[in-house]
Amino acid sequence: MAPQLTRVGDLKVVVERPAQASTKPPVLMIHGFNGGAWFWEPYQTLFARHGYETHALNLRGHHGSRPVEDIGSVSLSEYVGDALDVARTLTRPIIIGHSMGGLIAQKTAETGAGCALVLISSAPPRWIPIASWRLVRKQVKYLRQLLRSEPIMPTRRDADDLMFNRTPLPDREAQFARLVPESGHAGLQLSLGTLGVNESQVTVPTLVLVGLDDQFVVPRVARAVARKYGATLKEYPSFAHHIITEPGWEKPCTDVIQWLDQVARA
């Protein structure tokens, strides 16, 4: 079935359902920095073919979802609140997050809201440093926005270097055009690692995916996150940070579906 734009209160959620009724758990998908539900378009299509109903959330201030007066000042905790608002409308969903959305997914799972957790190129919680020399060098030019809680929008060059380094050149323009300003406050929280997660409360099966050419959230971070939760770790040599939309995305996506078929229960 074609995806449908629905609402949970004032949050915009893109829902795609399988063609036939299924007993598989619903899936909550949470996007990352500067993104939107559109990040998940390929995954939603393939998940539907395998009998999963997916709900891709637009976080507040993104693509007309839950309007905010100042996107620059939005906190990670507020984004977690958005994810919980949608999760509560579902029956113990599978929770999947990419990049910043991965940390939001961890906090959502910490509440006991889900039945399985998938972290893709995920930002880490407190005590797992995200910083790499490349990332720090790029962040310097955005220091004002980070420190003053102003909106952040990457330059095309920085997006190509950190986010789209494995995305074909013809696709980068279209994807960059769909990015939206992000919260400088949330960016600072991610950079400083201020948001902690109690791993003893994340009791669901967990899968961590990372592209070995990820220049944004480097593989070292994914390995540490996997150790924190005793998670299954899958590494992909020919992928980078936007593993969910890069050429060959079907392989890691299929791996996620096969893993979920084995471990997820409604």
Largest distance between two CA atoms of the chain: 51
**pLDDT reported for residue 140:** 87
The pTM of this model reads: 0.97
Which domains does the chain show, CATH number per domain? 4-263 (3.40.50.1820)
**pLDDT reported for residue 266:** 54
The pLDDT averaged over each successive group of 10 residues in the chain (266 residues) is: 92 96 95 98 97 98 97 98 98 97 98 97 96 83 95 96 95 96 97 96 98 96 98 97 97 98 80
* Angstrom distance (rounded) from CA 98 to CA 150: 23
* Angstrom distance (rounded) from CA 13 to CA 127: 32
The angle at the Cα of 193, spanning 231 to 129, to the nearest 5 degrees, equals 65
Tokens describing residue 108: 């959502």
- For residue 98, how many other CB atoms are within 10 A of its CB? 30
For residue 157, the number of C-alpha atoms closer than 13 Å in the C-beta half-sphere is 3
Tokens describing residue 57: 């959330």
**pLDDT reported for residue 133:** 77
* Angstrom distance (rounded) from CA 224 to CA 129: 9
Find residue 56's DSSP bridge partners: 14, 29
Q: 205-217: string of b/e by CB count within 10 Å (b at 16+)?
A: bbbbbbbebbbbb
**pLDDT reported for residue 29:** 98
**pLDDT reported for residue 265:** 67
Tokens describing residue 19: 């063609």
